[in-house]
Amino acid sequence: MAKEHPLVAVTRRLPEPAMRRLQEADLVLRVWPESAPPPPGDLAALAAGCHGILCLLTDRIDAAFLDAAGPSLRVVSQMAVGVDNIDLAACTARGIPVGHTPGVLTEATADLTLALMLATARRLVAAAADVKAGKWTTWDPLGWVGPDLHSSTVGIVGLGRIGAAVARRLSGFGVEVLYHNRRPSLMAEELGAAYVSFDELLRRSDFVTLHCPYTSATHHLVNAETLALMKPSAILVNTSRGGVVDQEALCAALAAGKIAGAGLDVTTPEPLPADHPLLTLPNVVVLPHIGSASLPTRLLMANMAVDNLLVGLEGGRLPHCANPMP
Ligand code: DGY
């Protein structure tokens, strides 16, 4: 019998070593050549008849996509830990395992969270822009001042891998760490983090940092009502998913001075249009979803996605599977 060469759709070029591994495996590759994601129609055409797909968080993998891909599809492997763009139930119903990349981006994302806390509180972006614009005219006792991170109270929403890595970093800042999870975490004691209700966390924290997955339960967890519980001096940091925050309510709260600032690595939509009202506010730092964007981390993610894909094509149990498989 002739040997099968599985057909695999790859929705963007990956870091070169991972790309090479795909090329050297016994696969027929269909690689989306553009730097922007394939629009839904092109994504479906790219995947039609494929045995596997290696996708990104910018691709919507839903029942319609799975129907278009067809019955040959054996594995979906995503180069991201978050899988909110994928209809996991639809994949499970078709017996398709979904690979993802937990763990390898924890430290990079925690690093960026600290960077965003400091950048927002200490007004780094505005200060650096002023230097470039020739507005640094003197050492000003009142210039570019903001709150301290050290000695503050930080509330971590979601003490999972990334939340815990943030707590570990914060131990060097002499802060009080509060956290809220669906249930108390076993790691909390070692991390010096105190469990409180969500409302209490919002009321007491100087920084609120979001590290929960985006699900129907966390959709707009931060909204007009919950923002109203925060201190007027508080800063919201989000490196999870834009949908966890009701962005309109956040804009209104920032504009009205109900909270002091926001550092956002994730927004709704992504990319955020350059004329979006959030970007007109002086107390906001918005980054283009770069939590995992260190070179080593992106390579680890891509390699993990390739590992999941290759195992899935062979019909094996994925090393990192996001949906329940028998
Ligand atoms: C993820 O992996 O889910 C991040 O948001 C992107 O690195």
Q: What is the DSSP letter of 245?
A: B
Does one domain contain both 121 and 214?
yes
Residues 134 and 251 in one domain: yes
Decide: 302 in ligand 1 pocket, CB within 6 A: no
Residue whose CA lies nearest to ligand 1 atom number 6: 80
Parent domain of 162: 106-286
Q: 163 and 61 in one domain?
A: no
- Could you tell me if 138 and 265 lie in one domain? yes
Q: How far is the CA of 81 from the centre of ligand 1 (A)?
A: 5
Q: Read off the pLDDT band of 3 (50, 70, 90).
A: confident
Catalytic center residues: 289
Q: Is the whole model's pTM more than 0.75, yes or no?
A: yes
Specify the number of domains making up the chain: 2
Query: Which residues are CB-contacts of 296 (< 8 A; sequence separation ≥ 6)?
Result: none
> Containing H/E element for 178?
strand 176-180
106: tokens are 């924890």
Would you say residue 268 lies in a domain?
yes
CATH number of the domain bearing residue 120: 3.40.50.720
Q: Is residue 138 part of a domain?
A: yes
In a domain, 204, yes or no: yes
**260: number of Cβ within 10 Å:** 20
The predicted pLDDT at position 326 comes to 84
Cβ 231 vs Cβ 258: under 8 Å: no
CA–centroid distance, 167 to ligand 1, in Å, is: 19
Q: What is the DSSP string of 203-272?
A: HH-SEEEE----STTTTTSB-HHHHTTS-TT-EEEE-S-GGGB-HHHHHHHHHTTSSSEEEES--SSSSP
Model pLDDT for residues 163-208, shown as the tens digit of each residue = 999 999 999 999 999 999 999 999 999 999 999 999 999 999 999 9
CA of 4 to the centre of ligand 1 (A): 33
For 94, the token pair is 């078709």
221-243 mean pLDDT: 98
SS3 (DSSP) at 192: coil
Strand pairing partners for 249? none
- Give the CA dihedral 241, 243, 245, 247, nearest 10 degrees: 120
Nearest atom within ligand 1 for CA of residue 293: 7
In a domain, 137, yes or no: yes
Together in a domain, 29 and 135: no
In this structure, the answer to whether residues 245 and 275 fall within a common structural domain is yes
The reply to whether 117 and 84 lie within a common domain is no
Q: What percent of the chain has pLDDT over 90?
A: 98
- Give residue 36's region: left, alpha or beta (phi > 0; psi -120 to 50): beta
Question: Residue 325 domain-assigned?
Answer: no
* Among protein residues, the one whose CA lies closest to atom 2 of ligand 1: 80
81 lines ligand 1 (CB under 6 A): yes
- Same domain for 112 and 256, yes or no, is yes
Question: Quick one: 58 and 22 in the same domain?
Answer: yes
Residue 205 falls inside a structural domain:
yes
Contact 73, 96 (CB under 8 A): yes
Confidence class for position 1, pLDDT limits 50, 70, 90: low
Distance, in Å, from the CA atom of 26 to the CA atom of 141, rounded to the nearest integer, reads: 65
Residue 166: inside a domain, yes or no?
Answer: yes
98, 76 contact by CB (below 8 A)? yes
Q: Is residue 267 part of a domain?
A: yes
Residue 298 CA to residue 80 CA, distance in Å, equals 9
Query: Which tokens hold the place of 230?
Result: 């925060």
The CA 289 to ligand 1 mean position distance, Å, reads 8
**Residues 204-218: tens digit of each pLDDT:** 999 999 999 999 999
Chain centroid to Cα 216, Å, comes to 16
User: pLDDT band at residue 322, thresholds of 50, 70 and 90?
Assistant: very high
Ligand 1 pocket member 82 (CB < 6 A) = yes
166 and 31 within one domain: no
Q: Give first-to-last CA distance, the chain, whole Å.
A: 29
Ligand 1 nearest atom to the CA of residue 79, by list position: 2
Using CA of residue 256, residue 260, residue 219, residue 94, what is the dihedral sign?
positive
202 and 306 housed in the same domain: no
**Could you tell me if 163 and 186 lie in one domain?**
yes
The three-state DSSP-derived secondary structure of 70-108 is CCCCCEEEECCCCCCCECHHHHHHCCCCEECCCCCCHHH
User: pLDDT tens, 116-161?
Assistant: 999 999 999 999 999 999 999 999 999 999 999 999 999 999 999 9
Atom of ligand 1 nearest to the CA of 240: 5
